[in-house]
Structure 1
């Protein structure tokens, strides 16, 4: 049987998952192509790893985003386990439960947020008995455990808190699991340090051209799956396939830090609703994820590709200083955290305006396409 040759462009989590799915079909030989020297290096790695259940999208009054996030969140772990071919010890790579802290400056009132969260939990009750679904290895009775936020009186600018069962996965540890699965597949050939600049259709399929290890490169494929992130629209445009909606790129930083000893009791938190931040305690890691949106968001673009200037790093000391100062208003003492790493990733989404706009499409996700 002649196998079809498939190019999967982009070695982030979407590209890797597509490659692993195709590898289960003997009709395909897959070339997983990425511009970096190794896979899973950019935004798929540089984020908090939250497996969303809909709580952060309370500004979508249609509830369609929460419904989609809930089903997708319950599908995430079963899908990953199917793709890698074995059970995953999710407890080893997961964070503590997320506790949602309602800011006194929230764009949504406390009572409306609580009503929204309970509606999500009611929706979960209709899904929890589905044998095909589970949340990071757990079959939960409720997404809102009967627990109170510990130390709530110690937090500044917070008027309420809710404990949820939502968690993040440690993207560094998840990366290892995914790369092991790619390496174990005899159907996947990895092409790293390979930047694709052009695509065109020909009689036999598609021809890709670009550079590999700074040398000219081209190759023909029967099928091309475009899983790129910042470079996706550039190739889509060459094929006459630009989306029919407005899009927005955002360049966002995150900090990995060691918390002061007196704050190592902290759990994982998302501050709602608006331009606030997150703290993620991965429990089995000494590093804590920190982000304060106004300080860490350093670029907006509506162009086909993000500006080249985004490849230059912003003032790192300023980002760290401003982020810790702002987080210190919520978590007194956190300004003494020791920052181990500051990195940025680019977020692509449907929308015209940033999250400061109540009407921004960034507050919805049900129309996002894969």
Structure 2
């Protein structure tokens, strides 16, 4: 196998995983990122749900579940091999609770049928044993009112389900990936560097040139655009016209560390613009409330990042999430009372979909239009979901290396 010089644009979970996999195959990889550290943005600051399709209960075609499953079921295997680490101490220890809101865009009976069909997809999939836990025989389970009433006593909740999904602490993953990149001798990091264009030197099947904001230009055998919010703009310079129908959003969420362990189930209010809580290990928590956290969205080639929240705005944001989640999930109050550190962090969300989550017909309720576009030696990767990134990186590393 000939050694290649490869540029990876973007040091999120996809770009970082791909760079490590390519380097281990003997290639020389240069990773570009605008931040001062790898894996510093959306891949570090999100809930870490390793999706199996249940969140997309409004997609009764099950296209989302079918598209997501191969990557999500491989997440644990690929990432644990990549980091040479046991993921179990950093993942949620119990199945997620889904609470159906009375204003859900999908009624509970329909949702229950869809969950059952997703259960069947899981059982049919040969990779079901490779999820963060073995889900080859797992099923979603309807909870009695008394059981889900232990989590929420609000009359806004009309049904509850336990589904076999888990989440991972993305801050731990980000730190581990960053350390692995820095210790890999075949990886060169070009941080605090913004890509301005990528163009073929001669034909698209030959070398490509990458230009950066400092005026530098460098040629590579292969270029992989693994940017997130900046991907479409670079694709245009490479001659790839984005497929219509995308959207950018920017969301803030809470990341809380407590002084002592707090017993709280990971739970999500569904289906629509509601919120959720993740309990990774009893002391590290994620919380969100969609209407408060969604601060900017648009359908342009790029979306301007909102200004950072000052101390007063940060406090108001945390108070708003605390108040709204607390009405539905009163157990979250114990987390705030025990908190020793509360961070408000955010990131961009790209989707080949649009519309409001409160509109049952909006394409935003589906995630089946992501993948790789290729123009000769240039690859553009829409990761789709955090949970599919390591598997996509593995597939792409094999393709670039010739098998």
TM-score normalised by L of structure 1: 0.89
Please say if residues 106 and 360 of structure 2, whose CA atoms lie closer than 8 Å, have aligned partners that are also in contact: no
Q: CA deviation at 1:264?
A: 2.8
SS at match of 2:105: coil
Q: Could you tell me which residue of structure 1 aligns to residue 19 of structure 2?
A: 19
Residue of structure 1 equivalent to 2:169: 170
Change (3 A) 1:131 1:364: closer
Residue 192 of structure 2 corresponds to which residue in structure 1?
Answer: 193
Q: CA deviation at 1:299?
A: 0.5
Query: Paired residue for 1:342?
Result: 344
Task: Look up the match of 2:277.
Answer: 279
1:154 aligned counterpart, secondary structure: coil
SS at match of 1:194: coil
Asked if the contact 2:49/2:166 (under 8 Å) is kept, the reply is yes
Cα deviation, residue 62, structure 1: 0.8
Q: Contact 1:149 / 1:163 at 8 angstroms: preserved in 2?
A: no
Q: Which moved more, 1:163-172 or 1:181-190?
A: 181-190
Displacement after TM superposition at 1:69 (Å):
2.4
Structure 1 residue 248, shift from structure 2 partner: 0.6
Q: More deviation in 202-211 or 223-232?
A: 202-211
Q: 1:141 aligns with which of 110, 130, 137?
A: 137
Whether 1:299 aligns to 2:301 is: no
Shift of residue 44, structure 1, vs aligned partner: 0.5
TM-score, length basis structure 2:
0.82
CA distance in 1, matches of 2:317, 2:262: 22
Residue of structure 1 in register with 2:39 after alignment: 40
Number of the residue aligned with 2:328: 330
User: Bigger shift: 185-194 or 4-13?
Assistant: 185-194
| Unmatched 5+ stretches in structure 1 | none
Instruction: Map residues 102-141 of structure 1 onto 2, 5 A cutoff.
Output: 102-127=100-125, 130=126, 133-138=129-134, 140-141=136-137
CA offsets, 1:273-324, max 9 Å, x none?
111011000125x12111000011000111111125x244483333222222
1:50 and 2:49 aligned = yes
Q: 1:176: Cα distance to partner?
A: 2.9
Higher relative contact order (CA 8 A, sep 6+): 2
Please provide the CA RMSD for this pair: 2.5
* SS of match in other structure, 2:357: coil
- Counterpart of 1:219 in structure 2 is 218
In the alignment, the residues of structure 2 paired with residue 272 and residue 359 of structure 1 have an alpha-carbon distance, to the nearest angstrom, of 16
Distance 1:115 1:50, change over 3 A: same
Q: Matches of residues 253-272 of structure 1 in structure 2 within 5 Å?
A: 253-257=252-256, 264-272=262-270
| C-alpha distance in 1 between matches for 2:152 and 2:274 | 19
Alpha-carbon shift at residue 181 of structure 1 (Å): 3.0
